[in-house]
Structure 1
């Protein structure tokens, strides 16, 4: 049994020996009028499968264009994101219930089967409603023949609940079983287990946390707006760990005045702690006020660095190789002492001598899977080696730009040991760096790991799984 998603590029025909009939043209009236919520979720799944689109980028515009709001928007979001997250589990169940392999099912029909199976196994929607609404979508687009296939498969799915399907189909080894039950590729579950180390018993909790939509975290940029003011405006509460964090409790944060004018922003609390660690690290010698964000896009951490620098009259340089992302950095850092340079961080051409450098390196993003519904099925172990080389090169470039006695903070939004401790240990060996006690830079944050570095987790801290290591140049 495989948990890999079906081949997106070569959907087979709906019946053996017969050519696939193309779907009817999509129109809001003919296909969405009867059930616009499920039609919207289906169209997100189709965009993800056909165009490698990102669900969290497709869905908001679609809801807006079709004027789906309130509870209907919430349901469409749950169905679309949920079906993307649990694709591996859904495909295994569909395979067990269909009379053909997954790659012999038309892509658009597979989208509908995933949508219906998700409703049956992961929501409180009644089986009758889940099956019938999905069959109606199939009938409206493809006619009676293929809607009958959808009906037959979903009725077989409905014969067992989610726990029964896990018992029937999951691997017997603990990691594989937990991966299947919580809809993760096995290799990612193993990565988490390795990173948890002696506390690998928390694996199920770590995987389950990826399937829960995160609380919206805001940052009150210091010197721009107070946390208390933002708490009141956002109808929220203070964050637990970052001195700048607010957990939003009201309407869309984009509607808040401090967010619109740049005094506040949406930013995960773990990302805020990365900057807090850099700003609070002890240097050897005085701070001359030269700070650098070597991987700045899209600009959230650079803006926090800029706000802190402004309070002391310091300057931040921010490097981003892509012009469109550099523009995002400029927008995030408007009215702050941040100079944005479009350059490759490995060869920026900057003059050495920085006091503090942040290397928030490109990574697999395995620590933020709860934010990107389809990401877990797109990543593969092959991605890690190329990213590891890039991470080592960026950290080496940062060391070259750092003054003696200065501090570099290396961070990734991934707990993968090859992207975290392997990279920092390599830099320590090559450059004689001194690894600081990073947990001491984040007072009050518990359960951050046993080593000198920090590993945050969604299930422990409610943040992305950020890795943070502070290193001083001798």
Structure 2
């Protein structure tokens, strides 16, 4: 796991250390702080007893993730607003929360060396506080005395005086070495490259193996695994999309956003809470990974020939089979509005179908409709109906670990097999619902071959009326660069370490006439 820098500059709660140049040792590990540490000389009665709001926000996020199985990206903005953090402290809280979650595997291995009992016997709140302290000490430009004092103060305020003494003692042991030294100790004598990578880059071993297999399955070198794991640990920049014909990026640009280089109508935003943008609140500009934008645009643009007697394409019917929570559905609906098509967005869960409707409100209502129902039964109601179908299938999400850092610790190897049956059923339903001559786009936010190429191959094997189109060429046509080098054997795979997107998979399946 490579250290991450923070942006603030001094020891006060509202001003942290600014990001500086990182040095690398001879092994290539990044160092973002000196190894010489100073500690507070304050007497116990003078030490911090209040919780710094930024650290409190990070702690609340970790507790919600651990205790309530919450998603960090949903909890964090609410907590930031609740505690009225300014832009600088919000950035600090974001890096601290996400960094502690990403680095949990490495930090827990280090903490296990510093605690006199198994970590599972610690109070979960204490363990979360220790992870927050470890991230500050080992991967942020926070002076050791400030990291210790503020983390112990947080513990006193929200956990108790007794646990705070334990946290103080443990974090002092953590602070005795820098991250490189800890990694050297943890991996000393380990010859299994998968186990070493799991410790160094804070991924479960099974995910490291799965990603190595995924690289090879999609035509890439297994030697890229280090870059891929590191990309998972890099804090992603917020990607925006202006809905075509409806939104604009002007407000985002005025706030500091820069135009995306991969896909039209996109921007990269790093100016704080994106919810402050009026265009985002209105829904005409949305937060969406560039990879998701690309696969939606590729499906919308692929040539399927004339669809009406007069040679026009007006009247096409599109389907988003797994639409919740509505990000891709909104982009597809905007594209459908431009092309004279109609979109049906399907979502089985009623509460997520409500989110889809909210996402689609920015698009003229005559262009779209929402169905609440099991996608596996779509062909019973709509056989041979749709010109284009997006199957954004439920998956393990191994391609979005940088955006959902807690997912790597929640997922299990058995999830891959359990989801595989559902993925096959949804894709089968889609090819039954598409018109002859129409196209189904099968998409996952996972590069795992068991969720990507194997699913497609199994469905194609059972039918003689299906054929693969060149998904790599379709992505190239939809991109601004025109040369993504994402295609392999007619399917396409994007990668965070190459394309700076989530690891989106795309297969385009045409039903023969």
TM-score > 0.5, shorter chain as reference? yes
Out of 373, 389, 395, which is 1:363 matched to?
395
* TM-score, normalised with respect to structure 1: 0.88
Alignment partners' CA distance in 2, 1:75 and 1:290: 46
1:330 aligns with 2:357: yes
Structure 1: where are the runs of 5+ without partners?
1-30
Q: Give 2:326's aligned residue.
A: 299
Q: CA deviation at 1:311?
A: 2.0
Report matched runs for 1:13-412 at 5 Å. Answer: 33-141=50-158, 145-170=162-187, 171-197=190-216, 198-225=220-247, 229=250, 232-233=253-254, 235-248=256-269, 250=271, 252-283=273-304, 285-286=306-307, 287=313, 289-334=316-361, 335-336=364-365, 337-348=367-378, 349-352=380-383, 353-412=385-444
Alignment partners' CA distance in 2, 1:404 and 1:189: 40
Q: Give 2:19's aligned residue.
A: none
Structure 2: where are the runs of 5+ without partners?
1-47, 308-312, 477-481
Q: Give 1:12's aligned residue.
A: none
Alignment partners' CA distance in 1, 2:277 and 2:75: 23
Q: Give 2:494's aligned residue.
A: 456
Q: CA deviation at 1:315?
A: 1.1
Alignment partners' CA distance in 2, 1:152 and 1:342: 54
Alignment partners' CA distance in 1, 2:475 and 2:51: 53
Alignment partners' CA distance in 2, 1:138 and 1:113: 9
Alignment partners' CA distance in 2, 1:42 and 1:235: 29
Does structure 1 retain, via aligned residues, the 8 Å contact 2:96–2:132? yes
Does structure 1 retain, via aligned residues, the 8 Å contact 2:49–2:156? no
Q: CA deviation at 1:285?
A: 5.0
Alignment partners' CA distance in 2, 1:111 and 1:249: 27
Q: Give 1:440's aligned residue.
A: 473
Q: Assess, with a 3 A threshold, how the Cα gap between structure 1 residues 445 and 324 changes in structure 2: closer, same or farther.
A: farther
Q: CA deviation at 1:144?
A: 5.0
Q: More deviation in 445-454 or 140-149? A: 140-149
Which secondary structure state, in structure 2, belongs to the residue aligned with residue 415 of structure 1?
A: coil
Q: Assess, with a 3 A threshold, how the Cα gap between structure 1 residues 473 and 98 changes in structure 2: closer, same or farther.
A: same
Q: Assess, with a 3 A threshold, how the Cα gap between structure 1 residues 89 and 249 changes in structure 2: closer, same or farther.
A: closer
Runs of 4+ more than 6 Å apart: none
* TM-score, normalised with respect to structure 2: 0.82
Does structure 2 retain, via aligned residues, the 8 Å contact 1:414–1:466? yes
Q: Assess, with a 3 A threshold, how the Cα gap between structure 1 residues 282 and 119 changes in structure 2: closer, same or farther.
A: same
Alignment partners' CA distance in 2, 1:144 and 1:234: 43
Q: CA deviation at 1:127?
A: 2.0
